[in-house]
Amino acid sequence: RILAINRGEKKGCLTVHISIDHEENISWISRRIHRRPSIFTAELRAAVEDGYKRLLVPALERELRADLTAQAEEKAIRIFGHNLRQLLLQPPLAGHTVLGLDPGYRTGCKMAVVDATGNVRASGVIQVTQSDSARAAAAKAVERLVAEHGITLISIGNGTASYETEQFVAALIRTNKWKNVHYLITNEAGASVYSASALAKEELPDYDVTIRGAVSIARRVQDPLAELVKIDPQAIGVGQYQHDVSQKELKETLDATVEDAVNHVGVDLNTASPALLGRIAGINTTVAKNIVAYRNKHGRFKNRSALHDVARLGDAAFTQCAGFLRIHDGETPLDGTAIHPESYTLARSILTELGAAESDLSDRTKLPALS
């Protein structure tokens, strides 16, 4: 409420005052200053009243409102951080070939087909809000993409023309009786920011800015964390009055939230992007790019120890990051867990005591017995 009041005042819609019993306060101050009757009583009271109204009240109002605003901002930023964490930790819908739709009226609905590994297989633009003939052509285009690429999920951005696009997709699924094709509405906040970024140009150099937005909408349902870390947290849209709080404190909180979420989940060392790797403890942007360069040159990492061969990744950085980097189907199943390499000897001893093998760590059916 405080932030709402402040915004209304800034826009000139409100005039804000603190409700105080001024007469009672003036009388109380006057009694404290002159306790005995005096021929200057009237002058003293006038001086008190002037100082109170002209100096004291405005100063107290500023102090009180500043304190209330600081409390409101602190709570709001905490809520924004919580909201961002919820977005980042949404469960991924892995294994789907996704058709990402970025709805629009004038420019049409942008499409991008993204396979289960995140690669773009097809793209285009359809018109679903105009004439019947345009909608019919759009339906044929989507039907062809579903047949050619085995699309199982359609992700619709929640921006302009989202409702009309949802109606179009729902009717298409119903008409074709697609039992294995489903759709969902996806929060597209930040997609346009990503699509125009240098990172998007580097990742998708062959695609138009508008198509990159559709790619982001598709990918963020496959792996929300991996896709959203590419976007400035402040551009994702994490709550009302986001732009009314201290931007410095907001940025610090949101950046910390992203890093906490990434390290909480961990990342696949052999598939993670530089943007994702750069959020891991002990890894900066340069080292993240060096990891990807090493991976491209030497192939997939087979064990965590190979990180020592990455340029600028020293022992201290290895100690920080190793536990958050996962290697699946590597030389040891322990590399696919959150167990740090320095604790492998202890972990193996515990497995021996339990009568289990390291390979059991990769078998989901045996994990409950080890917990």
308-325, pLDDT tens digit by residue? Answer: 999 999 999 999 999 999
Ramachandran region, residue 160 (left: φ > 0; alpha: ψ -120 to 50; beta: rest) = beta
CATH superfamily, region 266-370: Tex RuvX-like domain-like (1.10.150.310)
Looking at residues 287-291, what average pLDDT do you find? 97
Tens of pLDDT, residue by residue over 198-225, are 999 999 999 999 999 999 999 999 999 9
* Domain locations along the chain: 2-88, 98-222, 266-370
| Backbone φ and ψ of 183, nearest 5° | -135, 160
Q: Which amino acid is at 29?
A: I
Cβ–Cβ under 8 Å, residues 188 and 159: yes
Give exposure, 61-93, as e/b (b: 16+ Cβ within 10 Å). Answer: eeeebeebbeebbeebbeebbebbbebbeeebb
Pairing of strands 109-114, 120-126: antiparallel
Q: Return the minimum-mean-pLDDT range out of 35-39, 44-48, 70-74, 93-97.
A: 35-39
Residue 264 pLDDT exceeds 90: yes
Place of tokens 């090493």: 294
The upper half-sphere exposure of residue 238, i.e. CA atoms within 13 Å in the direction of its Cβ, equals: 30
Question: What kind of fold does domain 98-222 have according to CATH?
Answer: Nucleotidyltransferase; domain 5 (3.30.420)
Summarised one tens digit per residue, pLDDT across range 115-150 is: 999 999 999 999 999 999 999 999 999 999 999 999
**Residue 3: which of 252, 243, 250 has the closest Cα?**
243
Give Cα 271 to chain centroid, integer Å. 20
pLDDT band at 90 (very low <50, low <70, confident <90, very high): very high
Is residue 160 within 8 Å of 103, Cβ to Cβ? Answer: yes
User: Quick check: 114 and 98 in contact, CB under 8 A?
Assistant: yes
| Span 318-364, pLDDT tens digits | 999 999 999 999 999 999 999 999 999 999 999 999 999 999 998 88
Query: Average pLDDT of 273-298?
Result: 97
Q: What is the mean pLDDT of the chain?
A: 95
d(CA 228, CA 258): 9
